[in-house]
Amino acid sequence: MANNPTHARPGWVYLVGAGSGDPELLTIKAARLIDEADVIVYDNLVAPAILDLVGPQVERIYAGKQRGDHALAQEEINHLLVRLARAGRRVVRLKGGDPFTFGRGGEEVETLAADGIPFEVVPGITAAAGVAAYAGIPLTHREHAQACVFVTGHLKDGSMDLDWPGLARRRQTVVIYMGLSGLPVLCEKLIEHGLPPDWPAAIVQRGTQPEQRTVTGTLATLPALAAAAQLRAPTLIIIGTVVTLRDKLRWFEERGA
């Protein structure tokens, strides 16, 4: 659907990527739309510092999802956006990261399109890019990885039935979203399908935010290290030899952010 932002009017829905946490990583367009919104429908992964940018006159509706605790089912969120737009509201659907990268944005705009609701999608910095950069771990590097794969640790049925042979390849970086609870299984399966136990791996908690914490290890050691550190979601897991560059390239935590 082609929409012209210069003719924007009330009754539209904007799927806006809030990025990986640091409010200064918002796009200029995202910041403008947040400022102009009548109502914000936001996720659990939207950082508090970004919500602080929302004016007091703007209605806020929480539609977050945490493991085993959904404020609203996805279908309810889809139809909520339709109802708000039909009531003539300028709706910003604020989603952590990027709306089209494990954000269910595709499902939401399918409903909007089917119901004839005008919409725009505003990309955000997805967690893989933002968190890896702030952790000092390049996703690609000529000496380490010529490919990068993004996967989610939770499928629609709650299982972790991934393409293990494809993920257990060398010369690539694997980034796992929402994989903290399945970390032991993830590491076990990658070893089972050919990666060595000493293959480098890292997990980052609340990346790009002041409370960012990064734990590095190997496929054999990372589950125990993460448990000992008592990490909590949201986290991002990065697997590949690029992780070994962190000791030289770490900058965010070193500056005492």
What is the set of active-site residues? Answer: 43, 65
Give the whole-angstrom CA distance, residue 38 versus residue 58.
5
Q: Are 198 and 224 in contact (CB under 8 A)?
A: no
- Concatenating the DSSP letter of every residue in 6-72 gives GG--SS-EEEEE-BTS-GGGS-HHHHHHHHH-SEEEE-TTS-HHHHTTS-TTSEEEE--EETTEESS
Pairing assessment for the beta strands 59-62 and 39-42 based on DSSP bridges: parallel
User: 76-113: string of b/e by CB count within 10 Å (b at 16+)?
Assistant: ebbebbbebbeeebbbbbbbbbbbbbbbbbeebbebbe
CA distances 132 to 214, 240, 250, Å, are 10, 12, 10
